[in-house]
Amino acid sequence: MTELKNDRFLRALRRQPVDRTPIWMMRQAGRYLPEYRATRKQAGSFLDLCKNAELACEVTMQPLRRYPMDAAILFSDILTVPDALGLGLYFEEGEGPKFRKTVRSEADLAGLNSITAEDDLGYVMNAVSTIRQELNGMVPLIGFSGSPWTLATYMVEGGASKDFANVKGMAYDKPELMHGLLSLLADAVADYLSAQIRAGAQAVQIFDTWGGSLSAGGYKEFSLKYMQRIISRLQSDAQTQDVPVIVFTKGGGQWLNAIAGCGAQGVGIDWTTDINAARSQIGDRVCLQGNMDPTMLFASPARIREEVAAILAGFGHGSGHVFNLGHGITPGVNPDHVTAFVEAVVELSPQYHQSS
Amino acid sequence: MTELKNDRFLRALRRQPVDRTPIWMMRQAGRYLPEYRATRKQAGSFLDLCKNAELACEVTMQPLRRYPMDAAILFSDILTVPDALGLGLYFEEGEGPKFRKTVRSEADLAGLNSITAEDDLGYVMNAVSTIRQELNGMVPLIGFSGSPWTLATYMVEGGASKDFANVKGMAYDKPELMHGLLSLLADAVADYLSAQIRAGAQAVQIFDTWGGSLSAGGYKEFSLKYMQRIISRLQSDAQTQDVPVIVFTKGGGQWLNAIAGCGAQGVGIDWTTDINAARSQIGDRVCLQGNMDPTMLFASPARIREEVAAILAGFGHGSGHVFNLGHGITPGVNPDHVTAFVEAVVELSPQYHQSS
């Protein structure tokens, strides 16, 4: 493989010295970019775009042509695994993801397909190797998956949910069934991330978008435990053990201490967490990733720069910070505001990395 | 006024000894009750129900006839103040509250009505005094308002919002305008709560439903500061200073320490906060209110009882806990499950209040 020309992101995840704070953005390949919207139109549906390796590679590269990002992230969806398990993923315009089938009983669970990521999610591995080749060592490539709990919420509810009544009802009333589903998903996700790494991913992120809907106890029992299992599977395999893992639980700020102990090298924090307090609490054990409010990108470039300065100062001196938003970028953002955001990180962060 | 026959709720807020943990439920008068749905139909619209003192009193009393709740809460809406300010509140079926006008400029702000709660929100004061009379000392009556930040989100967005792009854009880019709006709202809410107290409310709660959408710094600047101002206004007036105030910021678990210092006697916590950790951190300074996951009411009565037991044990011995859900009750809940919930608190909590 080609040597990596920019390894700032991987060094920060390992808390090794860097010249400046690395940056990438969750959903950096996405609807706020006109070139993305053009490619998406060309592809047809969102899923068609995910399944076409050349076009998925094209949209992955688009933000890198505009901004000096320190990592690329695979263009895909968090729900590819449940789709392969046989639930029938589809998207209704303006309504988010839906499944044709749900999992609410032992019979539903038993009826899921047996899958291997390499065979049944081959289109994702094609995208990973195509992107890796196209990157040609420019920056590292991040692979990803939804967390078992997050996947389970969609699989039980049949789509997005406001109050998670069905999936939480199952967790509370049929814990064995829920643990059965989560175990199956943890194995499938570990296999999926492992296959992405073998195909070329140089770091992986587990998106736990809905872990924050649980109680403190429920989070540890139904979400964190299964992410821990995935990480320990990756770390016990010589082919995957050196690849850093980032865990991002939206709304998980109260549980940072527990999350920092799950084995991940990086912990994503959303914008509600004070990064200074987070570093005081756990920053020497893991790398922190985040955490500007995505809505700040609607403010003026000058205000964005102020906020970047405040977050950099909040984290303070030394390595172990990957700059990011606290959640995915919002579709309506002006791409020029992203320029101001990334430039601020590039220009203001070196002072925090000078050796004293 | 009639003497209060059950003062458990007020005693717990003051951290005075009680025989058992008091309980009430956010949105206890609401759609999960068939008798509520019948009265609502009779009233016409939701706002018609709020504005009819007899019917508002009837729905306030309904949960007390079924369950041994230790407090009643005024039936009203959190958006009555912006409605009186002239924005034109209305409800579209299934879409939540909307305003005919929004506040996005100095001119919009200057165009708001000058109001006094007693004159312009007289229908609320009528409801308070009617309910207080009907209660006849059975349990205390809680008055309430939305927090300034929460009211501002609806006033700037024109209704509910997913990403708060407009209101946060204003906070970030036009902080003077935002502080002008929040100052006006803090004064109006202080006047409103003060009028509710003079009309008979024996405690008041400030619902900060959307404070949790802010960053840590933004929360202190745009939400907490203005709730603090309201509380200090109430505490500097001989007519209102002895009435306990509860502040509830949904999603505010990371900021409990700051919230506990805002002057409120009670701090509401949602279900994502570990009540044991919360008490360790702040429990000796304020009363904690909460915090069962509302979705737990979809589980079996046996499971609900287990959860109540865990929360009671988590808080531990002594006064200073008002049992509640971590957010309003969900419309689809079976009223019999509420029976199991309340019974569990009544039966399992006395052991935590025996003097040693």
Answer whether the bond into residue A291 is a cis peptide, omega within 30°.
yes
Pick the CATH number of A8-353 from 3.30.2320.20, 3.40.50.720, 3.20.20.210, 3.40.50.10300: 3.20.20.210
B8 is catalytic: no
Q: How confident is the model at residue A95 (pLDDT cuts 50, 70, 90)?
A: confident
169-208 in chain B: CB under 8 A from chain A: 169, 172-173
Amino acid at B106: E
CA distances from A101 to A105, B47, B211 (A): 12, 39, 36
Q: How confident is the model at residue A94 (pLDDT cuts 50, 70, 90)?
A: confident
pLDDT digits (tens, 9 = 90+) for A208-267: 999 999 999 999 999 999 999 999 999 999 999 999 999 999 999 999 999 999 999 999
Residue A121 has pLDDT above 90, yes or no: yes
pLDDT of residue B32: 97
pLDDT of residue B158: 97
Measured from the Cβ of residue B90, the count of other Cβ atoms closer than 10 Å reads 14
Q: Which residue of B has its CA nearest to A330?
A: B163
pLDDT of residue A26: 98
Separation CA A177–CA A206 (nearest Å): 23
270-299 in chain A: CB under 8 A from chain B: 271-274, 277, 293-296, 298-299
pLDDT of residue A2: 74
Residue A355 has pLDDT above 90, yes or no: no
Q: How confident is the model at residue A356 (pLDDT cuts 50, 70, 90)?
A: low
Rounded mean pLDDT of A179-184? 98
Amino acid at B99: F
Closest-CA distance, B1 to chain A, in angstroms, reads 41
pLDDT of residue A284: 82
pLDDT of residue B295: 96
Q: Would the CB atoms of A172 and B295 count as touching at under 8 Å?
A: yes
pLDDT of residue A246: 98
ipTM of the complex as predicted: 0.93
pLDDT digits (tens, 9 = 90+) for A149-180: 999 999 999 999 989 999 999 999 999 999 99
Q: Would the CB atoms of A299 and B214 count as touching at under 8 Å?
A: no
pLDDT of residue B94: 75
Cβ-based contacts of A303 with chain B (< 8 Å): 172-173
Mean pLDDT by 10 residues, chain B (356 residues): 90 98 97 97 93 97 98 97 97 87 98 97 98 98 98 97 94 97 98 98 98 97 98 97 98 97 98 97 92 96 98 97 97 96 98 86
* Domain boundaries along the sequence of chain A: 8-353
- Pairs of CB atoms within 8 A across A/B: 92
pLDDT of residue B346: 98
Name the β-bridge partners of B204. B143, B245
N-to-C CA span, chain A: 36
Determine the Cα angle at B289 with ends B285 and B293, to 5°. Answer: 140
Q: Which residue of A has its CA nearest to B293?
A: A215
Residue A1 has pLDDT above 70, yes or no: no
pLDDT of residue A69: 98
